[in-house]
């Protein structure tokens, strides 16, 4: 079943030189799967995530020919309705738990906030749900962690708390914007595992936004490669090395390998790339 | 060029380095690999004279180091930091940033030296009077590298020099560092969590965990995924490279 359909999404910001389009005609559909969006800074990948959540604030503007979530058109949904969806049916996990958690609210209370806003559960029932959510992200002693403040937990634990906060409402769609970039390699695997588990068991759709080609390739069912606000290529899982577009190929070539024996690394030829983009089929 | 013997560093009651020893030859590039909290950055800080109190012996470029900051140390060793957005003064032009170490150390011919350094790190000369916000991330990191090289130190300490940069820019900076090292015969001590970066830039590496050296290996061993220590193997696995 299609969870999310986006057709011709454009995000524009005004500037001194006139409007700048940072997302330029993006179209894709997401089912109950893991879809990766890869690109470098400025490629528009984060803006895509925000546009879906309805979080492009003025003076920025998001337009689309179609943007449907569970069959509902998001484009003209009033803010009140949007607020009912956000945090309940669709959630977002951001890069750094240090900045996305409120430093002066206990972790348990922060997770309960969404339940308080979206449901009429009793305090006791909310507490049970919070502990359940913490357990779902493999926190062994949820009782203790729920009482802690964000500065008392490590980065990996903080990110798990963020995810617990998202899953407590059992959303249908989770948008994760660089969920692991601020974490150590050893913790990264765990966090990805937990998200994977949620996708499989609860049938969630996941949109994973990242700059890390290899991580996304190992981990998603499909990958969209973005460059300058456009999708330049769509790849299936494990098909990263069949990439055709010169941008994707350039990126892959510029990554050092474990058994590196090249004297210099090839650098992306941006002039040639822009020439290709202008003359290409897109 | 760098010899560290039995280095202990404590912050309050917490010991962050437990008897670390390592030796880096002149012209060699050595990597410290480990996760946050393993103490890898503390080793760099201690060598740069930024750790007030430590025990053990450290020799750098033929001199014994003493705890505390010494001005002359700046001529021997300089550091490049991870985040070029945080390590450059936002209100100072590239020219100010590069000329300052020369002014402090009373070195003449600033003009020519700044221009030569811009050329060396591949920054167009027209960028000389720009401010950091007018530069891209990769260009800023070039400025940070240029600043580190202004006093012509034989040793460069690199703390995750490419991990804050975009993938396509990382390659440019790695190529630059490799080229500069060959050209100027520099000695590198590089901190990273990215094993392929070690493979490209370094000759040897030490695997650190919780303030201890678990293993020291040649880069050939790393390339063949042959790290011996349990933790070294774990790092390889978790990087998804084996």
Amino acid B238: pLDDT? 76
ω before A59 within 30° of 0 (cis)? yes
CA distance A28 to chain B (A): 25
Indicate whether A281 pLDDT > 60: no
Contact B168 A211 (CB under 8 A): no
- pLDDT digit string (tens) for B122-153? 999 999 999 999 998 899 999 999 999 999 99
pLDDT digits (tens, 9 = 90+) for A107-147: 999 999 989 999 999 999 999 999 999 988 888 899 999 99
- Does residue A282 surpass a pLDDT of 60? no
Rounded-to-integer distance, Cα A257 and Cα A213, Å: 13
Which of A215, A250, A256 is nearest residue B174 as measured by Cβ atoms? A256
Task: Give the number of beta-carbon pairs within 8 Å between A and B.
Answer: 78
Question: Taking CB atoms and an 8 Å limit, are A256 and B167 in contact across chains?
Answer: no
Optimal mutation site among B171, B214, B217, B224, interface A, most CBs of chain A within 10 A: B171
Give the pLDDT mean for A21-43: 92
Which of A219, A228, A258 is most worth mutating to test chain B (most B CB atoms within 10 A of its CB)? Answer: A258
pLDDT at residue A9 tops 70 = yes
Average pLDDT, chain B: 91
Distance from the Cα of A40 to chain B's closest Cα (Å) equals: 6
Q: How far is A249 from chain B (nearest CA, A)?
A: 11
- Alpha carbons A168 and A126: distance in angstroms, whole number: 10
Q: What percent of chain A has pLDDT over 70?
A: 99
Q: Tell me if B168 and A268 make a contact (CB, 8 A cut-off).
A: yes
Residue A32 has pLDDT above 80, yes or no: yes
Residues of B with CB below 8 A from A41's CB?
137, 166
- What ranges in chain A are assigned the alpha helix state H? 45-52, 79-85, 97-100, 107-118, 123-136, 142-147, 155-167, 185-202, 213-219, 246-254, 270-279
Nearest-by-Cβ selection for B238 from A189, A213, A265: A189
Which chain A residues contact residue B172 at CB under 8 A? 267
Could you tell me the pLDDT band of residue A174, with boundaries at 50, 70 and 90?
A: very high
Give Cα A264 to chain centroid, integer Å: 33
Q: Which helix (H) or strand (E) holds A6?
A: strand A4-13
Mean pLDDT of A42-53: 91
- What's the confidence (pLDDT) of residue B80? 94
Say whether residue B178 is in contact with chain A using an 8 A CB cutoff: yes
A86 beta partners: A90
Q: What is the mean pLDDT of residues B172-196?
A: 93
Residues of B in contact with A96 (CB under 8 A): none
Answer yes or no: is pLDDT of A258 > 60.
Answer: yes
* pLDDT confidence of residue A166: 85
Residue B83 in contact with partner chain A when CB distance is under 8 A: no
Question: What pLDDT, in 10s, does the model give residues A72-103?
Answer: 999 889 999 999 999 899 999 888 888 889 99
pLDDT band at B166 (very low <50, low <70, confident <90, very high): confident
State residue B147's pLDDT score: 96
DSSP A117: H
Judged by DSSP in three states, B37 sits in coil
Contact list, A266 vs chain B (CB under 8 Å) = 171
pLDDT at A69 over 50: yes
Identify the DSSP state of A206: E
Which of B137, B170, B175 is nearest residue A264 as measured by Cβ atoms? B175
Which residues of chain B have a CB within 8 Å of the CB of A217?
none
Interface mutation target, options A220, A260, A263, chain B, most CBs of B under 10 Å: A260
> A40 and B199: CB-CB below 8 Å?
no
Q: Which residue in the set A215, A260, A268 is minimally distant from B199, CB to CB?
A: A260
Q: Mean pLDDT across the stretch A204-218?
A: 89
Nearest Cβ partner for A258 among B36, B193, B225: B225
CA-wise closest residue to A91 among A4, A6, A10: A4
Per-residue CA distances from A78 to A50, A75, A173, B195 (Å): 16, 9, 20, 49
What pLDDT, on a 0 to 100 scale, did the predictor assign at position B175? 94
Cβ(B21)–Cβ(B46) below 8 Å: no
ipTM field: 0.81
On whether the CB atoms of residues B173 and A256 are closer than 8 A, the answer is no
User: pLDDT tens digits, residue range B35-94?
Assistant: 877 888 899 999 998 888 899 999 998 889 988 767 788 899 999 998 888 889 999 999
Computed over every residue of chain A, the mean pLDDT equals 89
- The CA distances from residue A237 to A185, A192, A218, in Å, are 21, 16, 7
| Cβ–Cβ contact B182 with A under 8 A | no
* Cβ–Cβ gap B241/A258 under 8 Å: yes
- Chain A residues in contact with B223 by the CB 8 A cut-off are 258-261
| Residue found by looking up tokens 């060029």 in the block | B1
Whether B167 has its CB under 8 Å from any CB of chain A: the answer is yes
Beta carbons of B200 and A266 less than 8 Å apart: no
Distance from CA of B207 to the nearest CA of A (A): 14
Contacts (Cβ under 8 Å, ≥6 apart) of B50: B69
- Predicted confidence (pLDDT) per residue in B22-32, tens digit: 999 999 999 99
Q: Does B222 touch chain A (CB under 8 A)?
A: yes
By C-alpha distance, the chain A residue nearest B38 is A184
Instruction: Give helix A185-202 / helix A155-167 axis angle, nearest 10°.
Output: 10
How do B2-11 and A230-236 pair as beta strands?
A: unpaired
Give which of B35, B24, B45, B31 is closest to B197, Cα–Cα: B31
Enumerate domains of chain B plus CATH numbers.
2-88+153-238 (3.40.50.300)
Which chain B residues in 131-160 lie under 8 Å from chain A, judged by CB atoms? Answer: 137
User: For the segment A149-161, what is each residue's pLDDT rounded down to a tens digit?
Assistant: 999 988 888 888 9
């Amino acid at each position: 079943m299609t969870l999310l359909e986006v057709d011709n999404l454009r995000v524009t910001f005004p500037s001194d030189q006139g409007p700048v389009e940072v997302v330029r005609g993006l179209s894709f559909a997401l089912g109950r799967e893991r879809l990766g969006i890869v690109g470098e800074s400025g490629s528009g990948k984060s803006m895509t995530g925000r546009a879906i959540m309805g979080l492009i604030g003025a003076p920025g503007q998001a337009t689309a020919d179609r943007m449907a979530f569970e069959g509902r058109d998001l484009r003209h949904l009033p803010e009140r309705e949007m607020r009912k969806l956000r945090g309940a049916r669709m959630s977002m996990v951001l890069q750094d738990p240090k900045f996305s958690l409120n430093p002066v609210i206990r972790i348990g209370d922060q997770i309960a906030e969404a339940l308080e806003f979206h449901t009429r559960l009793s305090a006791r029932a909310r507490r049970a749900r919070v502990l359940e959510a913490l357990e779902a992200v493999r926190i062994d002693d949820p009782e203790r962690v729920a009482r802690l403040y964000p500065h008392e937990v490590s980065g990996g634990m903080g990110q798990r708390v963020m995810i617990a906060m998202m899953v407590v409402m059992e959303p249908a769609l989770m948008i994760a914007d660089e969920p692991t970039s601020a974490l150590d390699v050893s913790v990264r695997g765990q966090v990805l595992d937990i998200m994977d588990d949620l996708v499989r068991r609860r049938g969630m759709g996941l949109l994973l936004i990242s700059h890390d080609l290899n991580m996304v390739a190992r981990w998603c069912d499909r990958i969209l490669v973005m460059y300058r606000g456009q999708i330049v290529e769509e790849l299936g899982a494990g098909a990263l090395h069949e990439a055709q577009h010169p941008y994707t190929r350039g990126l892959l070539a510029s990554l050092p390998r474990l058994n590196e024996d090249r004297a210099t690394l090839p650098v992306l030829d941006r002039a040639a790339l822009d020439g290709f983009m202008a003359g290409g089929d897109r | 060029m760098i010899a560290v013997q039995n280095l202990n560093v404590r912050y309050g009651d917490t010991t962050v380095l437990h008897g670390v020893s390592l030796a880096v030859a002149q012209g060699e590039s050595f990597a410290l690999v480990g996760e946050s909290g393993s103490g890898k950055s503390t080793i760099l800080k201690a060598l740069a004279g930024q750790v007030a109190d430590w025990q053990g012996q450290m020799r750098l470029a033929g001199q014994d180091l003493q705890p505390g900051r010494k001005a002359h140390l700046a001529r021997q060793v300089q550091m490049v930091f991870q985040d070029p957005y945080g390590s450059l003064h936002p209100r100072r032009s590239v020219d100010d940033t590069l000329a300052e170490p020369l002014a402090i150390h009373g070195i003449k011919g600033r003009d020519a030296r700044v221009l030569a350094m811009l050329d060396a790190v591949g920054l167009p000369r027209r960028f000389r009077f720009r401010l950091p916000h007018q530069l891209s991330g990769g260009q800023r990191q070039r400025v940070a590298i240029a600043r580190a090289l202004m006093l012509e130190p034989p040793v460069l300490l690199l703390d995750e020099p490419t991990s804050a940069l975009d993938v396509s820019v990382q390659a440019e900076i790695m190529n630059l560092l490799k080229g500069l090292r060959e050209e100027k015969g520099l000695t590198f001590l590089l901190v990273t969590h990215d094993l392929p970066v070690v493979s490209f830039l370094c000759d040897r590496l030490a695997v650190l965990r919780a303030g201890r050296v678990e293993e020291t290996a040649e880069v050939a061993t790393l390339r063949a995924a042959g790290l011996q220590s349990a933790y070294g193997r774990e790092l390889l696995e978790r990087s998804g490279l084996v």
